[in-house]
Amino acid sequence: MKFQYLLLLLALGLTACNQEEYAFGDIRAPRNLQIEATVVGQTADTPNGDGSGVVIFTATAEDAITYKFVFSDGTQEVAPSGQLTKRFTQVGVQNYEVTVVASGTGGVATTATTEVTVESTFSDAEALRLLTGDGTKTWYWAADEPGQLGVGQNDGDATKNYFANYYQAAPFEKDGAGESQCLYEDELVFSRQGDQLYYELNNFGLTYFNAAYQDVAGGSQGYDFCYEFDVKDEPQLVTLSPSESVVAANGIPGQTRGTVLNFTDGGFMSYYIGTSRYEILSLTENRLVVRAVQGNNAGLAWYHIFTSTKPVQGGGGEEPEFNQLVWADEFDGTALADTSWSYNTGTGTDGWGNNESQYYTNRPENISVSDGTLKITAQRENYRGSDFTSSRIVTEDKFEFTYGRIEIRAKLPSGGGTWPALWMLGADYQTNTWPACGEIDIMEHVGNQQNRVFSSLHFPGNSGGNAVTESTVVETASTEFHVYKAIWSENTIRFYVDDNLYHTFSNRAGLPFNKDFFLIFNVAMGGNFGGNIDADFQQSTMEVDYVRVYQ
């Protein structure tokens, strides 16, 4: 019996082996793996390429199904065809080791390694200047801004990869408990020596750690916490490189500067999330917004907002209180008050214009007051050589003021090409030509970026497309009324939507924002900012419920 039993087991084993061999088929490791690397722009005069850092790789092998490229800069890519274009971002002439893994049937693989020498000459001189000012500049957390610390997704969704859609800290939120108070104390000091950028973090002995990295500080709280932590006590080199993130790949203007800060020696920007690479989304004289992917979780992107003026909770008594109503229009009548407003009529050739397409009129078809709101309507019609009409009104010579709180409750038009604006212009513009006179845009919106509103400041060196601009998303901008507010003092100009602060500008002597301005309301069509006009557009209206100025 035992012998028969053993024969049975042997037969079953042979059957199983035959079936297993049949399932796998012919297993072959890839053979004759070859790697070809072409450095873009390589000539006898430029042996390391044209400075773009781009290299085109071609891997070939017999019996290979797919290829994986592993680079010594810490990145890797899968290329089923064996062809891959890679941009190396470390500035200067660098040597990189490239390993190719060619996979065949049954999971067997063959590897080969080569080296490339390539040069990257990426630079961002303006970022260097803005980060360091006259040579050294200290940055602080913009603790008074919503979302000064936030986190969002990191994937291929172009609509959600440039802002903290998972969580945004409320103003001064981290000041509420000892476990996080150290965050707002940090000083981030950038300095420059020639064309070199350096960085030093003054953490005063404590660093706010993401819970996933508490072991680095020897902590055990299990949540984000301020731990004792020693940082470098001397400036560390920071290199700049072009961004290759999903945000940069989306190619949507205004979402990223396209520059990455690479901190050496384990440097990091105050909140410890296990990375030394931070992508600059926005950078002005007084505001810095960066995005960084968490070191141990590629699905999370963190957002930090810094300012060059340290915020003080409650304002520290430094900012004036603007509580006295000095001028208002509630639009409760049946006509525009000529004691407060005048019309600008005509086209851009009459003294303004940004290649816009409308003709401004004072006709009731384009501007009216009824049911408690001012209505400015842009519409398609052939009028005096223009394809569109609209209206533009001003308080010039009737109400002009310096400093105050301006509140405007409005519902915006929609449609590709619409460009409504609620803004102010320096009253001396006729003798002090724009941009020297200054411009404060409390709210601008373009239908081609529906639900995104902008605030901007134009002045010498920062005009036109180079204005100091920030934006925020207002999901119901064209379907509901919202309050667009600016608080303007000799120290700052702050912009809000429904009491949510999203843009702070440091005002100072020497800028044109310390004298009288007047108000302008208009709806433009097309132009440099409005963009292409939808072929199906017929008309749309901006409604203003009220405008109030407090001093």
Q: Could you tell me if 303 and 330 lie in one domain?
A: no
Q: Is the pLDDT of residue 360 over 70?
A: yes
Helix H or strand E encompassing 2? helix 2-24
> CA 253: distance to chain centroid?
9
- Please tell me which residue in 200, 396, 439, 543 is annotated as part of the active site: 439
- Please tell me which residue in 185, 279, 396, 444 is annotated as part of the active site: 444
Q: Could you tell me if 140 and 216 lie in one domain?
A: yes
Among 259, 278, 307, give the residue marking a domain's end: 307
pLDDT in tens, 74-111: 778 899 999 998 888 777 899 999 999 999 987 799 99
Please give the Cα distance from 81 to 94 (Å, whole number). 27
Please give the Cα distance from 362 to 404 (Å, whole number). 29
Q: Could you tell me if 218 and 254 lie in one domain?
A: yes
The count of residues in the chain is 551
> Per-residue confidence at 339, pLDDT binned at 50, 70, 90?
very high
In a domain, 228, yes or no: yes
Residue 316 has what pLDDT?
43
Residue 314 has what pLDDT?
54
User: For the chain, what is the mean pLDDT?
Assistant: 89
In a domain, 471, yes or no: yes
Average pLDDT over residues 10-23: 42
Residue recorded with tokens 């994986």: 68
Residue 184 has what pLDDT?
93
126: nearest Cα among 255, 282, 235: 282
Q: Could you tell me if 84 and 156 lie in one domain?
A: no
> CA 364: distance to chain centroid?
40
Q: Could you tell me if 290 and 354 lie in one domain?
A: no
Q: Is the pLDDT of residue 381 over 50?
A: yes
In a domain, 313, yes or no: no
pLDDT in tens, 430-467: 999 999 999 999 999 999 999 999 999 999 878 887 78
Instruction: Based on the residue annotation, tell me whether 444 is a catalytic residue of this protein.
Output: yes
Residue 498 has what pLDDT?
95
Please give the Cα distance from 5 to 7 (Å, whole number). 5
Q: Could you tell me if 418 and 332 lie in one domain?
A: yes
Residue recorded with tokens 């926005």: 282
Residue 495 has what pLDDT?
92
The segment with the largest mean pLDDT, out of 52-56, 179-183, 255-259, 367-371, is: 367-371
Q: Is the pLDDT of residue 15 over 50?
A: no
Among 275, 307, 339, give the residue marking a domain's end: 307
Average pLDDT over residues 491-514: 87
Residue 7 has what pLDDT?
39
pLDDT in tens, 172-218: 888 866 788 899 999 999 999 988 999 999 999 999 999 999 999 99
Residue 346 has what pLDDT?
93
Q: Is the pLDDT of residue 23 over 70?
A: no
* Token pair for 435: 């941009």
Q: Could you tell me if 255 and 344 lie in one domain?
A: no
Q: Could you tell me if 107 and 185 lie in one domain?
A: no
Number of structural domains the chain divides into: 3
Average pLDDT over residues 397-416: 97
Q: Could you tell me if 522 and 422 lie in one domain?
A: yes
Q: What percent of the chain has pLDDT over 70?
A: 93
Average pLDDT over residues 275-303: 95
The answer to pTM > 0.75 is: no
Instruction: Based on the residue annotation, tell me whether 185 is a catalytic residue of this protein.
Output: no
> CA 484: distance to chain centroid?
21
Residue 176 has what pLDDT?
65
Q: Could you tell me if 281 and 199 lie in one domain?
A: yes
Q: Is the pLDDT of residue 251 over 90?
A: no
Average pLDDT over residues 417-435: 95
In a domain, 1, yes or no: no
- Per the structure, the complete domain to which residue 78 belongs is given by 31-120
Q: Are 201 and 232 in contact (CB under 8 A)?
A: yes
Q: Is the pLDDT of residue 491 over 60?
A: yes
Q: Could you tell me if 152 and 104 lie in one domain?
A: no
Among 120, 151, 175, give the residue marking a domain's end: 120
Q: Could you tell me if 157 and 182 lie in one domain?
A: yes
Q: Is the pLDDT of residue 255 over 90?
A: no
Q: Is the pLDDT of residue 517 over 70?
A: yes
- Which residues is 476 bridged to in the sheet? none
